[in-house]
Structure 1
Amino acid sequence: MKHHFALGLLLAAFGSGAQTVDIAQAREIDLDGLRGLGPATTRRILEERERQPFRDWKDLMKRTPGMGPKKASQLSEQGLRVQGQTYPPSRAH
């Protein structure tokens, strides 16, 4: 019975379709695959990241025109991470 439960969890994880995309290593194709990011925004993110890595979600939103809390939340739900954090960043210590 334990094996069936573990298999079910494994299949659910793979079946969810969500994959983690860390903004520090994301390629253009990775970012373009996220709903809500067009080519212009993707290029802007990559240019800003090249200039200086993003410190956190607040930094990403400040340096990316059109990126507000709603878009950040949508992207986070699709698997985008900034410094390993989801949006809104967890407050746990």
Structure 2
Amino acid sequence: MTVDTVHLMTIAGMALVTLAMRLGGYVLVRYVTLRGRAAVAMEAMPVAVLTALIVPTALATGPAETIAAAITALAAWRLPLIVAVAIGTVCVVLLRMGFS
């Protein structure tokens, strides 16, 4: 097995940039107080990022995954997260069996 230095340096560079961004966020939070719309926007950020990650995958994979993602989202609206994940997992398994 050989080590490709270009790939190794690329991965190391991406890791350093990620670390710098995270540390920079912690440093900036100490000096900035968010109010009003900025505070509301930051509170909505985790949901927006999670949606941006999940929706393209759910829509690009197949009908079973898309339906299971919708059922999981509806379950997560009212139920604890672990229960919604369990429901989503069972749904995708059953739907995959039904669509195959």
TM over 0.5: no
Higher relative contact order (CA 8 A, sep 6+): 1
**If each structure's strand is expressed as a fraction of its own residues, which one has the higher value?**
1
Report the TM-score, using the length of structure 2 for normalisation. 0.27
